[in-house]
Structure 1
Amino acid sequence: MNNLVQEVLREYEMLRDKSLKEALMRRQEVYRKIPEISNIDDEIKDIGIEISKSIFLKPQKHKDLLENLRSRLNALKKKKADLLRSNGYPETYMEQKFECNICKDTGYVNNKRCKCFEQKLINLYYRQSSIEDITKIENFSNFDYYLYSDKPYKGKMSPRENMKSIVDVAKDFIDNFDNEKESLFFYGDSGLGKTFLSNCIAKELLDRGKVVLYRTAPDLVEGLRLNKLNSDNDSYYEYTDLLRECDLLIIDDLGTEPITPFSLQEIFSIVNARLLANKKFIISTNLPLSEVMNIYPERLCSRILGNFKLLNFYGEDIRIKRKTIN
């Protein structure tokens, strides 16, 4: 988080430097074409110095002096604006242009973060999450219940009703994210919308300024392995810090990673550390629960059973229907 904040502050510094250089270039251009404006600016500077001196050197007369100086200052500013307009320039042409006129590209207003600062952080969160592009498509605006059958399924409620129930849980998870104690565990056959719903939730939380990280289980394990093998071992700890400290960690396709002592230990360590810190997960798998219990050690399964809402996706593969509709 601190690294991301520092990145935003560096961006503001670059913006200010760029806008200042551009303003200086515009000023030099105007001075070349309208030399009189250069003289006016020199007079304006001199008046500014006189105003400062009058307050300290002649306090008994400073009100009258200030009134006279301000009158001269306003006359010079008007003359400068007239000259700019008559030569085809807008009055503000020489001024420094800011991306955000509220905070002047400092990121802060009255010692509080400006809205633009929060938006820049959100944009970084999106890039950090690795799902910036997919959430433009996979979000609640594009969620279609009619892809799911409204017929009862194997003695249970219809897939459509089941999906509506799961989405209600998901939206409650979003709305009460800071106070929610349980994470979400999606399980069921492939092609039933587990990843789509995960991305819907991710977008909502990213838009609310939460740090969300998405990894498939194979990518997660491979990233840990590569970083651990790296001669610069700091990279491993930086990567695990990101996995442990983000607000929401999405682990997709659990069970498709290589099942090795290394992968089992690393996944357990991340799950355990985040749960101890009251950090939230979405974990999804195409495996039935019984197989999850057989593959993963009891200490990991007990944490899933005790700290996650288990949500079963069932029905027919909706990817085929979606392709037909599209």
Structure 2
Amino acid sequence: MKNKYVSEILNEYEKLRENAKTEQEKRINEIYEKIPRIREIDKEISSIGFNIATSVVSKEIEDIEEYIKSQKEKITDLKIEKTELLSKYGYPIDYMDIKYKCKKCKDTGYINNKFCSCFRQKLINRYYQQSNLNEILRAENFDTFNFEYYSSIPYENEPLSPRENIEKIYAYAVNYTKNFDKTNESLFFYGSSGLGKTFLSNCIAKELLDKGKVVIYQTASNLMDIIRRCRFEESSNHNELNELLECDFLIIDDLGTEPVTPYSYSELFNIINTRILNKKKMLISTNFQLNDIIQNYPERITSRILGHFTLFKFYGEDIRIQKKFKK
């Protein structure tokens, strides 16, 4: 997937350079029309440059260094005259220069054989679009997470209060994103609806996307729809399935909302198992409790979840209801 995006972006840069060259030629022609002397100056500079190169190759001039020095002084004088003319006619002195979108890499995408920051940003933007989270992550991220919705009062038979529990999960999530490349760990969020599972999933997604990771978010129901299309519809984009298998981080939200069929179980297992085998990390969230997962899913799925994911239980009062009453 990354190679596809890199190729697309490099094509964009090529078009940017072509456009920059076209626009420069328009500006040059404009100046030549309005200030004919500048056309003459450019021709003189070009001619002097050619003469210098010819003289170096032919070795006909006795004191070549003195000759080159005198010719360069002529070029300098001509350039000064050119800038003075541009200023006189109200043009910026760099008006005839090529204008790149990125001055650092000159729209190549590279600086010293490394990606320019503008290239990395384009790549990150692509990942955001691919993730299906582009808009929501502006509102849901680590900076906007609100602990006030979680009570500090002990909750049922849980060892920690809802506030203590979510603070612990939050800290774990922050650390997880910081050390993402050092672990093969996947995460499993479970608990009743309205407790921040999806919000915290989005926090993790944004942090990883900003690090240049390929993150894809899908609900379990949408995931099954994508797989069905890829398997049975000739017109479908089969790359979608590969992207689900190969992205750096796959988020499957609302496990339990997908169709309950042997086929959906089989495909869900294939996704989870393939990513585990390929050391590709995941985050799965569900409104089910662990007992519900064990009762509703085949053993080969539950064994993968229980054996290969770090489990986090969310509990407390429904945040959506709290927000509604606050209004």
TM-score by length of 2: 0.95
Q: Output the CA distance in 2 between the equivalents of 1:193 and 1:51.
A: 72
- Contact 1:210–1:248 (8 Å) recurs in 2: yes
State the secondary structure of the residue aligned to 1:154: coil
**1:303 match:** 304
- Aligned residue among 111, 114, 129 for 2:113: 111
Pair 1:203-2:203 in alignment: no
- Contact 2:230–2:241 (8 Å) recurs in 1: no
**1:167 match:** 170
**2:89 match:** 87
The CA deviation at 1:309 is 0.7
State the secondary structure of the residue aligned to 2:97: coil
Q: Output the CA distance in 1 between the equivalents of 2:170 and 2:289.
A: 20
Q: Output the CA distance in 2 between the equivalents of 1:322 and 1:7.
A: 43
The CA deviation at 1:322 is 3.4
RMSD: 1.4
Q: Output the CA distance in 2 between the equivalents of 1:291 and 1:64.
A: 89
- Contact 1:140–1:200 (8 Å) recurs in 2: yes
The CA deviation at 1:212 is 0.5
State the secondary structure of the residue aligned to 1:301: helix
**1:26 match:** 27
**1:226 match:** 229
**1:191 match:** 194
Report 1:148-167 matches (<5 A). 148-156=150-158, 157-167=160-170
Q: Output the CA distance in 1 between the equivalents of 2:283 and 2:188.
A: 6
Report 1:54-65 matches (<5 A). 54-58=55-59, 61-65=63-67
**2:50 match:** 49
Q: Which runs of 4+ in 1 moved over 3 A?
A: 322-326
Q: Output the CA distance in 2 between the equivalents of 1:261 and 1:179.
A: 35
State the secondary structure of the residue aligned to 2:180: coil
The CA deviation at 1:240 is 1.8
Aligned residue type for 2:13: Y
Q: Output the CA distance in 1 between the equivalents of 2:144 and 2:89.
A: 52
Aligned residue type for 1:130: N
Aligned residue type for 2:124: I
**2:294 match:** 293
Identity of aligned residues (%): 50
- Contact 1:16–1:98 (8 Å) recurs in 2: yes
Gaps of 5+ in 2: none
- Contact 2:87–2:93 (8 Å) recurs in 1: yes
The CA deviation at 1:60 is 5.6
Aligned residue type for 2:270: S
The CA deviation at 1:75 is 0.9
The CA deviation at 1:8 is 0.9
The CA deviation at 1:227 is 2.1
- Contact 2:20–2:98 (8 Å) recurs in 1: yes
- Contact 2:177–2:208 (8 Å) recurs in 1: yes
**Pair 217,60 (structure 1): closer, same or farther in 2 beyond 3 Å:** farther
- Contact 1:254–1:286 (8 Å) recurs in 2: yes
The CA deviation at 1:149 is 1.0
- Contact 1:148–1:160 (8 Å) recurs in 2: yes
State the secondary structure of the residue aligned to 1:315: coil
1:164-208: per-residue Cα shift (whole Å, max 9, x none)?
Answer: 011111112111111112210000011100010000001111111
**Pair 324,38 (structure 1): closer, same or farther in 2 beyond 3 Å:** farther
Between 1:283-292 and 1:42-51, the stretch displaced more is 42-51
**Pair 309,39 (structure 1): closer, same or farther in 2 beyond 3 Å:** same
- Contact 1:217–1:255 (8 Å) recurs in 2: yes
- Contact 1:121–1:209 (8 Å) recurs in 2: yes
**Pair 201,60 (structure 1): closer, same or farther in 2 beyond 3 Å:** farther
**1:96 match:** 98
State the secondary structure of the residue aligned to 1:178: helix
Aligned residue type for 1:295: N
State the secondary structure of the residue aligned to 2:181: coil
- Contact 1:214–1:250 (8 Å) recurs in 2: yes
Q: Output the CA distance in 2 between the equivalents of 1:60 and 1:187.
A: 86
The CA deviation at 1:54 is 2.3
Aligned residue type for 2:150: Y
**2:11 match:** 10
